[in-house]
Amino acid sequence: MDYENILTALKNGNVPSGGALEICMGRDDEIEEFEKLLENIKQGRSYTKFINGEFGAGKSFFLKVIEEMAFKKNFVVSWITLSNEIPFNKFDVVYRNIAKNLKVKTGKSLEHIIERWITNIKMMAFEETLDPQKQNEFIESSIRSELKEVREYSNPMAKAIGSYYTFSNIGDYDTANNIQAWLRGDGQIPFTEKRKFGVKGDVDKETALKYLGALSIFIKSVGYDGLVVLIDEAEFIMNLHTQKLRDIAYNYIRDLYDDCSNGKFKNTLFIFGGTPQFFEDHKKGIASYDALNDRIADVLKSNYKDMRKPILELKGFDKNDLIEITRKLIIMHENAYRWMASEKFNPIITEIVDEHEENAELTGGKITPRIFIRSLVSVLDTVQQNQGSFIDSSTILDLFSDKESELEKQLEEDW
């Protein structure tokens, strides 16, 4: 584990590229629930879930945790962040970005997934027979068999995937590349080229949802346990200029939610991360679109936890969480920079936590995870590089007061 890389990312307010699951604390109930969901998805179920949290509450970080959990369990993952370039009211654009960002633990891209699948079939063919003609017959038969369910859902997608092997096998890589581009939703493939591999039309706003369903079926058919789609910064939908555009976006979310519930999607998990305003705003948020809000809004107003409801709320850290993560970060920093951080910081862990709790009035008594972690790592870095100046604990605690007031101003970006 590259602790130095993790600590640098955390200090910069970013989600680390790896190790999020190992250092995630205070989210045991949420992790347990998503473990169960992934197991259910493996058996054919599908879900649409929502993560609600203030800026800095750790939504993007928790999406990273889910991504790492999914990779460990042999899922394909796609992460998209909504923006001007990826507006959710244009679902053909959303599909293209989901297809473009597909990742597995062995690599990235839809092409990698297809190539790995074909390679596995070729290896089975070599084990079956040494006759080249019979090997090719075995490969083609296996491809047809494994695409059967995809064909029932979307014959064009099944035909294109099968044709990819055919054209790759004869060395026509231009056509093979056009097939890959078409599967990713590229609408610029000439008609004459599409005719070569037996498809008409493109992935558009009318067909994108169906092709996404077919893509998830293909992913399951070729040996993965399912597809996980992580949709970050969902509150960008509120920036769409008109109510009509926002309604279109919310209706697509409703379609996903309903299709997961009624079995049209199989082995698929969609997770939207957004701020409280995204869920509660009656002018521009989900609350403005009754057809979706009536499905996912909490019907039981209670302070008790319910991990099975559609919207999971990420709370700030309590005192036990703060103590646990402080100890963990001290150990990580000690290992990364080879110094005795614990000697200087362990005796004052309680005081560090108390210092942050006293400054948490603006968050309702809860510590914002990002602010706390950035502050702690910054102080650890400062003390490690200036150890002679920090002989007693009071000088270290003074640093926290300075860092906390500075970082409180930086809640514009979430992680």
Angle at 235 between CA 232 and CA 237, to 5 degrees: 105
Calculate helix-pair angle for 173-183, 155-169, nearest 10 degrees: 160
Q: What is the pTM of this model?
A: 0.90
Any idea which residue has 């049209």 for tokens?
A: 264
What are the φ/ψ torsions at residue 282 (nearest 5 degrees)?
-85, -5
**Segment 309-362, tens digit of pLDDT:** 999 999 877 788 889 999 999 999 999 999 999 999 999 999 998 888 776 654
**Euclidean distance between CA atoms 407 and 372, whole angstroms:** 9
Phi, psi values for residue 80, rounded to 5°: -125, 150
List residues bridging with 232 in a β-sheet. 81
Where does the pLDDT of residue 382 fall: very low under 50, low under 70, confident under 90, or very high at 90 and above? Answer: very high
Q: Find the angle CA(234)-CA(239)-CA(240) to the nearest 5 degrees.
A: 100
17 pLDDT more than 50: yes
**DSSP assignment letter at 317:** B
> What pairing do the DSSP bridges indicate for beta strands 268-274 and 46-52?
parallel
Nearest to 336 by CA among 328, 344, 347, 325: 328
In sequence order, what DSSP letters do the residues of 199-220 get, joined into one string?
--S---TTTHHHHHHHHHHHHH
Residue 230: what pLDDT?
A: 98
| One-letter identity of residue 137 | E
Q: Which amino acid is at 105?
A: K
Position 304 confidence tier, pLDDT thresholds 50, 70, 90: confident
Distance, CA of 326 to CA of 367 (rounded, Å): 13
- CA dist 85 and 236 (Å) reads 11
C-alpha–C-alpha distance, residues 66 and 226, integer Å: 14
Among residues 233, 256, 230, 223, which one has the least CA distance to residue 46? Answer: 256
Alpha-carbon separation of residue 199 from 190, 213, 229, 334 (angstroms): 11, 18, 26, 58
Strand partners, 273: 51
The stretch 49-68 carries a mean pLDDT of 93
Tell the residue number behind the tokens 């584990």, with chain if given: 1
**Three-state DSSP class for residue 414:** coil
Bridge partners of 311, per DSSP, are: 50
Q: What is the pLDDT of residues 142-190, one digit of tens each?
A: 999 999 999 999 999 999 999 999 999 999 999 999 999 999 999 999 9
pLDDT recorded at residue 320: 87
- Please, what is the average pLDDT of the chain? 91
63-77, 238-252, 391-405: range with lowest mean pLDDT: 391-405
